[in-house]
């Protein structure tokens, strides 16, 4: 009973930290999506320079640890750009996730049948019109399962921001445990918060997937 | 209407078209036949620059098309409709939206007018009752008829058909050919790549036989089918008829 009591007693102390985890994760994902889409489009464009800049970005980000990137933003860029620790954290997360999301988008864009682009071009659409109106809507739908996966990874990765002084869930657990010596209970509370968030993400992803399903009854004209 | 001179196209080292010349007059129906790999689809795709030829000229409605000028190519494509073997309907749009897409997005026609236009052409291919369903609900034959309506909605002066019935179940071929015959009757200029010899004989004003990237023989259907002059067209025709 002692265990449960401790957990209940300390859970409220986690709320600000839980909010912080959610904030840096959502900002990281939102900007990561924008960066990812932009990078995917330039990566497959005919512009040699832009395509290679995108390739280099993906190479650098995927090839180095997130912790190193967080340190880089916190210890190097924060000074020169005058960022807060909070901004350094979500920007690092955004740039980190952007590289993975770019590869998700690139994969799904390239998985759309070539005939779709040809059909769009054959009625006189420009390549950007065809991309925007024909290819991307279809590619986006296919991106949802891997994006959901990436969002969950991003949520858990946000715990690394504890290393750059961000008071998110894991750092809060460590701090409280240092004071009350209840490491098991504090880690349990932290784990429950992460599980809660990942459950919501999972549910949101499957809801979106269902809504966009072309083969659903609605789109078959049965409803 | 279409004037192609000295067209050369290679994919890597493979020469697919070798010095091809092709003239298509207004309201003429030209059918291109030949074995697979003979270059007939590539020739068709070079007309609207879905493939860029290495050399040669393409003139449409008297205008020489500059292959490096994207704007000019896009403009030309609004006058040249194309129907594909695999339909290539937009799966995330309804039948009506598929047909409206070109008029609204490319020609800038307002939605209300585009809807009328789309309905007119869906009526023409006898699919007005499917206007609000998604392509995944349609049979192959219906899909191809929607694809024809989508091309027609741009009100092109030429229609290109790239093996429009090759991906269809045999019992669905007829409905698509029927729509195409109707178009031919109305005087549409058409270039058709097909293996439907009966259709070619009935509808074509001229049949072109291609082999190995070259036009080997051409003529009115009765001559070419009954009395081919070239040994390769003889061999091809005796193999399929």
Beta bridge partners of B159: B81, B190
Confidence at residue A217, expressed as pLDDT on a 0 to 100 scale: 47
pLDDT attached to residue A215: 54
What residues in A contact B92, CB-CB < 8 Å? 137-138, 141, 214
| B104: closest chain A residue by CA | A125
**B89 and A113 in contact by Cβ < 8 A?**
no
Q: Decide if A123 and B48 are in contact by the 8 Å CB cutoff.
A: no
Instruction: Confirm if A29 and A23 have CB atoms less than 8 A apart.
Output: no
SS3 track for A8-54: HHHHHHHHHHHHHHHHHHHHHHHHHHHHHHHHHHHHCCCCHHHHHHH
CB contact under 8 A, B77 and A123: yes
Q: Tell me the shortest Cα–Cα distance from B211 to chain A, in angstroms.
A: 25
**What pLDDT was estimated at residue A222?**
46
Which bin fits B11, alpha (ψ -120 to 50), beta or left (φ > 0)?
A: beta
Q: How many CB pairs under 8 A join A and B?
A: 77
How much of chain B, in percent, has pLDDT values that exceed 70?
A: 100
- pLDDT value of position A59: 97
| Residue B203 burial (CB count, 10 A) | 20
pLDDT at position A1, please?
Answer: 58
Q: Is the pLDDT of residue B19 over 80?
A: yes
**Which residue in A135, A115, A119 sits closest to B77, CA to CA?**
A119
Nearest to B102 among A113, A115, A124 (CB): A124
Torsion sign across C-alpha atoms B193, B197, B198, B204: positive
Q: A-chain residues within 8 Å CB-CB of B102?
A: 123-125
Question: B106 to chain A: which residues are within 8 Å by CB?
Answer: 123-125, 129
A119 with B70: Cβ contact below 8 A: no
Alpha-carbon gap: A116 to the closest alpha carbon of chain B (Å): 6
**Residue A49 structure tokens:** 């320079």
**pTM of the predicted model as reported, rounded to 2 decimal places:** 0.89
pLDDT for res A82:
84
If DSSP codes are grouped into helix, strand and coil, which group holds residue A217?
coil
**Residue B187 and residue B27 in contact, taking contact as beta carbons nearer than 8 Å:** yes
| pLDDT at res. A190 | 97
Tell me if A215 and B132 make a contact (CB, 8 A cut-off): no
Q: Are the beta carbons of B154 and A123 separated by less than 8 Å? A: yes
The C-alpha torsion from B96 through B98 and B103 to B108, rounded to 10°, is 100
ipTM of the complex: 0.93
Element (H, E) at A170: helix A169-180
Nearest-CB residue to A219 (from B70, B134, B150): B134
Identify which of B89, B106, B137 has the shortest CB distance to residue A124: B106
Average pLDDT over chain B reads 94
Paired residues of B162 in beta bridges:
B193
Q: What does the pLDDT read at residue A80?
A: 86
Please write the tens of the pLDDT for every residue from B46-70.
999 999 999 999 999 989 999 889 9
- Please indicate whether, in this complex, the C-beta atoms of B84 and A119 are within 8 angstroms of each other: yes
> Which chain B residues have a beta carbon less than 8 Å from that of A214?
91-92, 134, 136
B131 Cβ contact list (under 8 Å, min separation 6): B94, B95, B96, B118, B119, B122
DSSP-based three-state secondary structure for A71: helix
For residue A135, the chain B residue with the least C-alpha distance is B90
Residue B241 — very low, low, confident or very high, per pLDDT cuts 50/70/90? low
Residue of B nearest to A223 (CA): B133
pLDDT in tens, B117-129: 999 999 999 999 9
Numbered residues of chain B with Cβ closer than 8 Å to any chain A Cβ: 48, 50, 70, 74-75, 77-78, 80-82, 84, 86, 88-92, 101-102, 105-107, 132-134, 136-137, 147, 150-151, 154
Interchain proximity A214–B134, CB inside 8 Å = yes
Q: Which residues of A touch B (CB under 8 A)?
A: 113, 115-116, 118-126, 129, 133-134, 137-138, 141, 214-215, 219-221
Residue B129 neighbours by CB distance under 10 Å: 10
Is the Cβ pair B137, A125 closer than 8 Å?
no
Supply A107's token pair.
Answer: 């994969």
All residues at 6 or more sequence positions from B226 whose CB lies less than 8 Å from its CB, including other chains: none
**What tens digit of pLDDT does each residue of B141-179 get?**
999 999 999 999 999 999 999 999 999 999 999 999 999
| Positions in chain A short of pLDDT 50 | 217, 219-223
**Cβ–Cβ gap B89/A119 under 8 Å:** yes
Q: pLDDT of B21-37, one tens digit each?
A: 999 999 999 999 999 88
Nearest chain B Cα distance for residue A127, angstroms: 10
> Would you state the pLDDT for residue B160?
97
- Mean pLDDT calculated for residue range B3-18: 94
Q: In whole angstroms, what is the distance from residue A77 CA to residue A24 CA?
A: 18
């Amino acid at each position: 009973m002692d265990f449960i009591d401790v957990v209940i007693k300390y859970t409220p102390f986690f709320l600000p930290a839980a909010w912080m985890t959610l904030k840096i994760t959502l900002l990281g994902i939102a900007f990561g999506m924008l960066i990812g889409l932009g990078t995917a489009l330039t990566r497959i464009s005919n512009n040699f320079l832009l395509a290679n800049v995108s390739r280099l970005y993906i190479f650098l980000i995927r090839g180095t640890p997130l912790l190193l990137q967080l340190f880089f933003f916190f210890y190097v860029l924060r000074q020169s750009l005058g960022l807060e620790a909070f901004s350094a954290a979500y920007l690092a997360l955004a740039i980190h996730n952007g590289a993975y999301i770019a590869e998700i988008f690139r994969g799904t864009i390239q998985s759309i049948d070539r005939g779709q682009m040809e059909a769009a071009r054959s009625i006189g659409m420009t390549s950007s019109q065809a991309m925007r109106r024909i290819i991307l809507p279809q590619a986006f739908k296919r991106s949802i399962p891997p994006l959901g996966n990436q969002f969950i990874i991003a949520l858990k990765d946000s715990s690394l921001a504890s290393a750059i002084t961000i008071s998110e869930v894991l750092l809060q657990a460590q701090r409280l445990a240092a004071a009350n010596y209840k490491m098991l209970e504090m880690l349990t509370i932290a784990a429950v918060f992460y599980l809660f968030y990942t459950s919501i993400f999972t549910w949101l992803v499957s809801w979106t997937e269902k809504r966009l399903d072309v083969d659903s009854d609605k789109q078959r004209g049965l409803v | 209407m279409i004037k192609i001179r000295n067209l050369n196209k290679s994919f890597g080292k493979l020469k697919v078209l070798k010095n091809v010349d092709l003239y298509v007059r207004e309201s003429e129906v030209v059918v291109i036949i030949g074995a697979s790999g003979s270059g007939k689809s590539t020739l068709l795709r070079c007309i609207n620059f879905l493939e860029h030829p290495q050399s040669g000229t393409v003139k449409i409605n008297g205008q020489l098309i500059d292959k490096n000028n994207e704007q000019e190519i896009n403009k030309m494509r609004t006058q040249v409709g194309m129907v594909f073997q695999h339909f290539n309907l937009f799966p995330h749009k309804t039948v009506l939206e598929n047909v409206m897409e070109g008029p609204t997005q490319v020609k800038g026609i307002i939605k209300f007018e585009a809807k009328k236009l789309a309905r007119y052409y869906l009526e023409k291919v006898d699919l007005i009752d499917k206007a609000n369903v998604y392509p995944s609900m349609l049979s192959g034959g219906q899909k191809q008829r929607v694809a024809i309506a989508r091309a027609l909605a741009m009100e092109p002066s030429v229609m290109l058909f790239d093996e429009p019935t090759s991906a269809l179940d045999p019992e669905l071929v007829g409905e698509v050919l029927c729509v195409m015959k109707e178009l031919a009757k109305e005087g549409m200029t058409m270039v058709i790549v097909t293996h439907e010899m009966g259709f070619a004989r009935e509808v074509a004003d001229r049949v072109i036989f291609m082999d190995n990237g070259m036009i080997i023989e051409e003529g009115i259907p009765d001559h070419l089918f009954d009395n081919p002059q070239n040994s390769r067209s003889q061999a091809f025709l005796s193999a399929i008829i």
